[in-house]
Amino acid sequence: MKRYLPFIIVVAVALLAVGSGAMLYRAKRPATLTMSGKGGEPKHVRGNPKASVTLEEFGDFQCPPCGRIAPEIKKLEEDYQSQLRVVFRHLPLATHVHAQAAACAAEAASMQDRFWEMHDLLYKEQAVWSKSEDSRALFQAYAGMIGLDLGRFKRDIDSEEVKARIAADQRQAASLGVTNTPTFFLNNRAVDPASINPEKLRSLVDAELKEKKNPSG
């Protein structure tokens, strides 16, 4: 019983937060957009669809470096506002036992227009669910926290459509030779892995903005 006590406490707290959490997310939802790229594959976009700079990520929700960089990317979004949009694509790695299930949870949330809310929560709580013996129970608790219809969420998480969306991103990664996470592209150009830190990413975004303002410079 003692071994399961932390898990029981986490789930209980999460369920108690359903009402207030749902209201918070509804009140403060950022500008988001789900678009379809080539081949009809889904593309999750947050920010101004017409922003001059696009930062695209292939990520894995159980990947620790992805979890560490996620809040920094969010800060870039806040700082650059309409000048930057962020795209997320799934690349759950086989070495992470809960990564595929987490991707399915995010896509099931997307079916109810809550992809980014689940995206942020999965990264915020990565240290909890990634070590859980029953991560799906936690994903269901998170779904309640962001105001999802839980019955639909439970159906969608195992649906063929959700699996197809993730597989489409994986095919896109394979076509680009992407095998690791996080991998970033800035305006369709691959970002050097050595530049995947807040300071260097910010300098790269600044350079792109400057180039857009002075294309001949």
pLDDT of residue 214: 73
User: What percentage of the chain reaches a pLDDT higher than 70?
Assistant: 79
The per-residue pLDDT for 35 is: 37
In DSSP terms, 48 is beta-bridged to: none
Identify whether the C-beta of residue 147 lies closer than 8 Å to the C-beta of residue 114. Answer: yes
pLDDT tens sequence across 159-187: 999 999 999 999 999 999 999 999 999 99
Identify the band that residue 215 occupies on the pLDDT scale cut at 50, 70 and 90: low
* Domain count within the chain: 1
Q: How far is CA 129 from the centre of its chain?
A: 15
For residue range 26-38, list pLDDT tens digits in order: 434 545 444 334 4
Q: Which domain holds residue 194?
A: 2-213
Pick the closest to residue 143 from 185, 173, 101 (CA basis). 101
Q: Please report which confidence band the pLDDT of residue 216 belongs to, taking 50, 70 and 90 as the band edges.
A: low
> How would residue 212 be classed by pLDDT, with cut points 50, 70 and 90?
confident
pLDDT given at position 158: 97
93 pLDDT higher than 70: yes
CATH of the domain at 191: 3.40.30.10
Per-residue pLDDT, 49: 87
Nearest to 146 by CA among 12, 22, 30, 13: 22
Buried b / exposed e across 136-148, counting CB within 10 Å, b at 16+? bbbbbbbbbbbbb
Instruction: Write out pLDDT tens, residues 110-130.
Output: 999 999 999 999 999 999 999
